[in-house]
Structures are given as structure tokens and as C-alpha cells.
Amino acid sequence: MRVGVSIGDSIAAMHGVMGALMALHQRNTGDGKGQVVDVALYESVFNLMESLLPEYDMFGFTRNRSGASLPGITPSNTYPCRDKKYVVIGANADSIFKRMMLAIGRNDLANDPELAHNDGRVKRTWELDEVITAWTMQHDLDEILTILDKAEVPAGKIYDIADIVNDPHYQAREMIRQFQLSDGRPLKLPGIVPKLSRTPGEIRWVGPQLGAHTAEILSSLGYDEVAQAALKAQEVI
């Protein structure tokens, strides 16, 4: 059995708790004043995306999603668009499903009595997903959203990392931070979550260079000659 989980809510709650604990600690060890703990759902999830942002910024690599269906509720899935974007569509209510089928020119499915209710649609999930995919692949994302909005079908754009980097809300919330590596190259990194009003936190160090501690570790293990070679190699690099 597969069940859906509101993971964004859970992750945001955990960040909220962490922020509250930090705020309490600061109050108890500081001047006794409290502060606001600011947590957003999308920022909490973004905080767990590991190297998603640096990969995009340094190498232009955009990770893609591997699936987002909602088993037992049909149709509700993420579909590819002609312009290589993705759209999430939730047309699982009976009246919404019919409106969507009419909007994409599938009157036969809109008026099929077997598909009038969710239990019938679930039995034909693969068929309906193939039909919707065939339609979305013929249109760009913006066109799809316009058509579905006119038909009053819930749908939304799925952000990739390029959308996130260029989103004004992420930027205004300082979730896209610009830093500089030791060689002068710029690097974007995610901002800090949660945000505290009086002690918001700061990224003070982006980490060591690759191999920066190799010689130190080798020397501590007794491999002094290898450590010296590693130091010379690092100087050459």
C-alpha cells in the first residue's frame, strides 16, 4: 500500500522546532528577549536539496524528477511539456475531470460513464495518464496553464533549479546566496533555514578545497613521505 505524505509540512515543523529551541537558548543565555522564528514550507524543503543549487551554478546541471503520481486518485500526476518543463495537474474530482477532458478535446472520455467517478478512473489510470501526457507534450507549459486555468482545472508549474534561481521570491527571502571560492570563482549556495529575527545566522565558510587536508591526515597516520608528495602536488595544482 502506498500513501501520500505531506512531507513539506513535516519538514517545516521540524525546522520550526529547531528555530524555537535556538531562540530559547539565545534568550536564556543572552539578554532575556525573545524573537520571531520565521519558517516557510518551500524553504524547508529547499534546505534538504543538498547539492542541487551548487550543481546547477557550477556545472549547469539540472536534476530532473523521477515521478510524482498520487496512487488511488486519478488523474493526479506530473506531466512533461513540449518545452521540457513539467506541469502538475490535479483533475481528480468528477466535475474537474470532465472539464479537463473537454478542454483537451477528449469528449469521448469526458462522457464515458466508466470514468464518471474516481473508482472507475483508477482502473484506467495508465490510459488516462497516457492521454494527458500525449496532450501536454503537444504544448508548452505556459499554454497548458492558460488552457487549464480557463477550464478551472487545478494545475501548476513544477520548478526546476533554473526557475528557483531566477524566482524573485527566493531572492527577496535571501535563499539564493552568492559567495566566492578561494580561486575567485563565484558560487551560489542556499540561504539559512529557519530565519530568526534577532540572530538570523550567516554562512561564514564555504568549505575547504578538494584535498586541502590530505597531507595532514596522511601525516597523522605515519605516511610522511606520501604527505609531502601530496603537498607538492597541491602546490602544483
Look at residue 1 and tell me whether its pLDDT is greater than 50: no
Whether residue 86 is found in the same domain as residue 137: yes
Select which of 9, 142, 149, 224 is catalytic.
9
Higher pLDDT, 166 or 193: 166
**More confident position, 217 or 57:** 57
Confirm whether 140 is a catalytic residue. Answer: no
CATH code (residue 89)? 3.30.1540.10
In this structure, is residue 173 part of a structural domain? yes
The reply to whether 86 and 101 lie within a common domain is: yes
- Quick one: which of 208, 213, 169, 224 has its CA closest to 41? 169
Tell me, yes or no, whether 167 and 153 share the same domain: no
Residues 81 and 153 in one domain: yes
Same domain, 80 and 154: yes
- Residue 71, in any domain of the structure: no
Contact 185, 57 (CB under 8 A): no
| Torsional sign, CA 159, 165, 4, 38 | negative
What is the domain extent for residue 237? 207-237
91 and 155 assigned to the same domain: yes
Over residues 102-154, the pLDDT tens digits come to 999 999 999 999 999 999 999 999 999 999 999 999 999 999 999 999 999 99
Q: Chain-wide mean pLDDT for the chain? A: 89
Q: In terms of domains, do 21 and 56 share one? A: yes
What pLDDT is stored for residue 182 in this prediction?
84
Q: 53-79: per-residue pLDDT in tens?
A: 998 999 998 887 655 677 788 999 999
Query: 86 with 146, same domain?
Result: yes
Task: Kindly state whether residues 53 and 100 are assigned to the same domain.
Answer: no
Q: Name the DSSP class of 30.
A: T
Position 3 pLDDT exceeds 50: no
Question: What is the mean predicted confidence (pLDDT) over 35-51?
Answer: 92
How does pLDDT run across 21-31, given as a tens digit for each residue? 999 999 999 88
Residue 44 burial by Cβ neighbours in a 10 Å radius (0-12, 13-18, 19+): buried
Domain boundary (132, 159, 186) is at 159
Residue 221 lies in a domain: yes
**3-state SS track over 95-137:** HHHHHHHHHCCCHHHHCCHHHCCHHHHHCCHHHHHHHHHHHHC
Cα 159 off chain centre by = 7
Question: How far is the C-alpha of 165 from the C-alpha of 92, rounded, in Å?
Answer: 32
Predicted TM-score of the model (pTM): 0.66
